[in-house]
Structure 1
């Protein structure tokens, strides 16, 4: 059994080295992904803020249009009553 254990040790060490290399590669990829995300986020944040402002403007315009429509409907009813 001592011979088998000696043969297994180098294989286990080799496998551990392979796994460590894979882990190192994955850690590099994760680091690169984090950097990419950090670089992209300011652009996305800026675009989101711009869209949010446009949405707010359109919402205000829609609200004003709804009020105007309501006024016109009332005027229309008044004119019908006069006729």
Structure 2
């Protein structure tokens, strides 16, 4: 029995698939190189568009962070507003429940 036969079938299959993946990656790299050599204008336009997308992605990320910050501030202000409303309602209820002073001139 040689070493190749000793490997479990799954390991043999993994090795075979890895070789195929490596071959495909080599082919893709070759195609990219050929594309760049064949049409450099298209390649430079692609690079320009990629840079624009990267910049827009950064702006979008900043906007998402700002939105998250504003949402957090909004929740804080809402909670503060609810607390103030609750305190105001308690004061109003207290004023309506307390009878007028007995010494208001009726003695």
Which range, TM-score by smaller chain?
0.5 to 0.7
- In the alignment, what sits opposite 1:59? 71
Alignment length (residue pairs): 57
**Could you say what secondary structure the match of 1:39 adopts?**
helix
CA RMSD of the aligned region, Å?
1.7
Structure 1 residue runs of 5 or longer lacking an equivalent are 1-26
Whole-angstrom distance in 1 between the partners of 2:71 and 2:45: 37
TM-score, normalised via structure 1 length: 0.59
TM-score, normalised via structure 2 length: 0.47
Tell me which protein shows more helix as a share of its residues.
1
Larger radius of gyration: 2
Structure of higher RCO (CA pairs closer than 8 Å, 6+ residues apart): 2
